[in-house]
């Protein structure tokens, strides 16, 4: 029977318990989805519903996010995420896997795929910057400034999400806010992600280390997706990535910014279907 709702599952890796949503039936091609910074596994709910019949879809709450554990030692580097993905794929036997990541999740997916290309069936990087830029750092700063560290109501959270992403539907904005925040004993709403990561971003100037040296190792079929009006990934960088790939495709999603999968889900799904069905 096909699942209309995912199962909540947990996996103990290193010093943390990681939560993930399991949408599929074992035996179908595994697909692992990685959210962006401050996000959570439920941002993929609509996408997973559409693809659950073709793939065994799993959505991971990356460390410090959603229902996954927080690192007491603030171990949130790209290397720490790399270790999590490696353990997740190995323990669950997902090799080879269709790997998709958005923003931070895309950077984590890129590094893993570059180091273990033989474990990747296909790779999808969604609005994920390969290096630092003034515009992308400013966009990250604006994101963290707009998302409240404490709110009196869930509606305040939803309004903040829509302030950052006005092209989201009210339903999707509520889903992002509802799963991304929790209500405390005093009735306030606070983020589920480890807010100390935001302080670390501020200290580093909202920068990101360059991953260009890893791009050339992406030998698997790779789809680069950009939001048409994204401040995080420039069109020039997206095209440059594809030029370095032996089997790369670049697609832009119309009328979107940094959340193309959520701002224009129909077109995004169509692009992914075309990619998965393409011959290379």
Cis peptide, bond prior to residue 193, ω within 30 of zero: no
Q: Which letter does DSSP use for residue 264 in this model?
A: S
pLDDT above 50 (res 34)? yes
Average pLDDT over residues 245-264: 98
Under 8 Å between Cβ of 33 and 57? yes
Under 8 Å between Cβ of 80 and 63? yes
Q: Six-digit token pair at 238?
A: 């997206």
Q: pLDDT by residue (tens digit) across 169-217?
A: 999 999 999 999 999 999 999 999 999 999 999 999 999 999 999 999 9
pLDDT of residue 150: 98
Q: Six-digit token pair at 198?
A: 């935001």
Average pLDDT over residues 143-170: 96
Q: How far apart are CA 131 and CA 110, in angstroms?
A: 12
Q: How far apart are CA 23 and CA 30, in angstroms?
A: 10
Q: What is the DSSP string of 166-217?
A: TTS-HHHHHHHHHHHEEE-TTS-EEESS-THHHHHHHHTTS-----HHHHTT
Q: How far apart are CA 176 and CA 79, in angstroms?
A: 26
Alpha carbons within 13 angstroms on the beta-carbon side of residue 185 total 0
Q: pLDDT by residue (tens digit) across 38-97?
A: 999 999 999 999 999 999 999 999 999 999 999 999 999 999 999 999 999 999 999 999
With b for 16 or more beta-carbon neighbours within 10 A and e for fewer, the 221-239 pattern comes to: bbbbbbbeebbbbeeebbe
- Band of residue 24 on the pLDDT scale cut at 50, 70, 90: confident
List of domains in the chain: 7-132+210-276 (3.40.50.1820)
Please state, as a whole number, how many other Cβ atoms lie within 10 Å of the Cβ of residue 148.
Answer: 18
What lies within 8 Å, CB to CB, of 129 at 6+ separation is 103, 107, 136, 208, 232, 233, 237
Q: What is the DSSP string of 18-43?
A: EEEEE-S-BTBPEEEEE--TT--GGG
> What phi, psi does 140 have (nearest 5°)?
-65, -40
| Helical ranges in 43-118 per DSSP H | 45-51, 78-92, 104-115
pLDDT above 50 (res 1)? no
Under 8 Å between Cβ of 183 and 152? no
Q: How far apart are CA 20 and CA 17, in angstroms?
A: 10
């Amino acid at each position: 029977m096909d699942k209309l709702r995912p199962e909540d599952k947990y996996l103990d890796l290193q010093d943390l318990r990681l939560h993930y949503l399991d949408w599929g039936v074992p035996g179908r091609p595994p697909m692992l989805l990685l959210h962006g910074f401050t996000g959570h596994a439920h941002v993929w709910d609509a996408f997973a519903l559409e693809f659950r019949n073709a793939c065994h879809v799993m959505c991971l709450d990356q460390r410090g996010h959603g229902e996954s554990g927080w690192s007491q030692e603030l171990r949130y580097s790209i290397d720490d995420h790399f270790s999590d993905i490696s353990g997740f794929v190995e323990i669950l036997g997902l090799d080879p896997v269709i790997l998709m990541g958005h923003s931070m999740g895309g950077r984590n997916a890129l590094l893993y795929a570059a180091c273990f290309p033989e474990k990747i069936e296909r790779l999808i990087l969604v609005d994920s910057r390969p290096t630092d830029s003034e515009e992308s750092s400013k966009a990250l700063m604006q994101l963290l400034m707009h998302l409240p560290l404490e709110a009196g109501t869930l509606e305040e959270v939803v309004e903040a999400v829509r302030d950052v992403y006005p092209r989201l539907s009210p339903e999707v904005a509520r889903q992002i806010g509802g799963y991304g925040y929790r209500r405390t004993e005093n009735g306030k709403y606070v983020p589920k992600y480890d807010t100390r990561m935001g302080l670390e971003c501020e200290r580093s100037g909202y920068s990101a280390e360059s991953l260009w040296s890893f791009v050339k190792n992406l030998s698997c079929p790779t789809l680069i997706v950009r939001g048409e009006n994204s401040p995080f990934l420039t069109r020039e960088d997206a095209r440059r990535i594809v030029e370095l790939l032996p089997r790369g495709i670049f697609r832009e999603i119309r009328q979107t910014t940094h959340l193309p999968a959520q701002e224009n889900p129909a077109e995004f799904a169509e692009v992914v279907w075309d990619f998965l069905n393409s011959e290379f």
